[in-house]
Amino acid sequence: MTPVGTSEYACARSVFLHLRDVPVGRYIAVPTTFAPREQTTFMLRIYSDRKIESRTLIKHAPSQRFFGCRQAVSVTRITVIEAVLEQEKEMNIYCVLQCGRYKVRTSSVKGRNLVSWDEQFVFHRRIHADDFVVELWSDCVMARNQVLSRTSFTAQIDNDTREVHVKLDDLCGKSMGYLKLVVAAFDDPMYL
């Protein structure tokens, strides 16, 4: 995990931390005391100009499913960094990641040769190799959205973080650039 912000320990009743330009995403706020093993209660206030869906994490792992279904044995975090494209016209583009029945979508970004997202998605799986399908779509306002490229790659669960360049071909097989991803895959679902 990459820390977004931290405050100094102060011998005071309250501590104020002002973070600016925090990108949209999932975050964990961990209030702590300076002395180890010291127990206390905290009141945490979070202000934002966007809607916040805060939840308290009370369990260390997801609960057992109905009928004794297996729990996740691996976790994969994919960060969609950018797409480097070989095209002439500017368009709104978004990326769709699919693993099994689970499908996620990035926001639409306008661009021509370089389209940047820097969005993260987490996949919990029951197997040690994940096959992902990546689709690049054109977000058309007045018409139906169009698939620009469709490709797949395998994320091996090897307890490592690596940068992956996925080659993008259009539906006719002509090369149109590549998609830059950061894949972090671990065999312990508690790791991320």
| pLDDT over 70, % of the chain | 88
Decide: 100 and 137 in contact? Cβ < 8 Å: no
- Summarize the confidence of residues 41-58 as an average pLDDT: 83
Mean pLDDT of all residues in the chain?
82
Can you list the positions of beta strands (E) in the chain?
Answer: 74-85, 91-99, 102-105, 109-111, 114-125, 129-138, 146-156, 160-169, 175-186
pLDDT of residue 70: 65
Contacts of 49 (CB under 8 A, 6+ apart): none
- Summarize the confidence of residues 144-156 as an average pLDDT: 87
pLDDT by residue (tens digit) across 64-106? 666 656 666 788 889 999 999 888 788 889 999 998 888 999 9
pLDDT of residue 73: 74
Tell the CATH superfamily of the 74-186 domain.
C2 domain (2.60.40.150)
- Summarize the confidence of residues 14-37 as an average pLDDT: 80
With a cut of 90, say whether residue 46 has pLDDT above it.
no
Residue 87 or 161, more confident? 161
| pLDDT over 90, % of the chain | 17
Backbone φ, ψ for residue 97 (5° rounding): -110, 135
Cα dihedral angle (157, 158, 160, 162), rounded to 10 degrees?
-70
pLDDT of residue 68: 58
pLDDT of residue 191: 65
pLDDT by residue (tens digit) across 114-145? 999 999 998 887 766 678 899 998 888 777 88
